[in-house]
Structures are given as structure tokens and as C-alpha cells.
């Protein structure tokens, strides 16, 4: 097991006591658990789950879904805000596959 303080210190390439954005690796996973990791019976960890786009999602949708949560947020969408809002029919801030199907039906 790698100690978190030591791992963070290793990321601090300029030794200024802080890890800046440019020092962060491209991908980083952080796990949080409650209990003693040396005693499995006292360890409580929240399971990691990923909701991925459904297989019937268009390929462009799957590629745009950077965080693999099955929806496209405004930050993942490369188009104009109005384009996003036109597809996000329920206005929840996420583009979902079902909303794409509704838009496609309106166009035909």
C-alpha cells in the first residue's frame, strides 16, 4: 500500500509544498475508506461503480462521454451551448441517449 502523503509529495515536482494542476497526472484514482486497512473485518469501503453508455448509444456519444457515466454533461459537449440545450429536452444539464432518440424522431 502506498501512503497518500508520500505519493502526493512525489507529484510535487517543484517542491513548493503544493501539487498544482500541471503536476497532476493525466489519470488519477483516489480511494476513501473508513476503518483500519490492516484489518479487513473493520474496513468499510464504498464500492466503485461505473455506468457506461449503453451499447445502442451512437459511437460519437460513447466517445464524448469522457467520465463514462452514461450521459454527456455540458463540459463534455464540444458544441455550442444552444445545441446542447436543444438536445437536453428535460433541462437537467445532461444529454441522455433517450433525448437523442427524441431529437432524431423530430427530424424525420
For 8-23, letters b (16+ CB in 10 Å) and e give eeeeeeeeeeebeeee
**Residue 1: pLDDT band with limits 50, 70, 90:** very low
**Residue 85: pLDDT band with limits 50, 70, 90:** very high
Alpha-carbon gap, residue 11 to 28, rounded angstroms? 11
pLDDT in tens, 9-57: 888 889 898 888 778 776 656 666 666 666 666 555 555 445 555 667 8
Question: For residue 82, is pLDDT > 90?
Answer: yes
**pTM for this one?**
0.48
DSSP secondary structure string for all residues of 16-37: SSS--GGGS-SS-----EES-T
Task: For the chain, list the domains and their CATH numbers.
Answer: 4-45 (no CATH), 59-107 (1.10.238.10)
Averaged pLDDT score across all residues of the chain: 77
Amino acid at each position: 500500500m502506498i501512503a497518500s502523503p508520500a505519493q502526493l509529495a512525489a507529484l510535487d515536482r517543484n517542491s513548493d509544498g503544493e501539487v498544482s494542476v500541471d503536476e497532476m497526472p493525466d489519470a488519477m484514482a483516489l480511494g476513501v475508506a473508513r476503518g483500519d486497512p490492516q484489518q479487513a473485518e473493520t474496513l468499510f469501503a464504498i464500492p466503485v461503480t461505473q455506468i457506461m453508455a449503453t451499447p445502442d448509444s451512437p459511437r460519437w456519444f460513447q466517445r464524448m462521454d469522457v467520465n463514462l457515466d452514461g450521459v454527456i454533461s455540458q463540459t463534455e459537449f464540444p458544441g455550442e451551448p444552444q445545441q446542447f440545450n436543444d438536445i437536453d429536452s428535460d433541462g437537467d444539464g445532461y444529454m441522455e441517449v433517450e433525448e437523442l432518440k427524441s431529437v432524431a424522431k423530430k427530424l424525420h
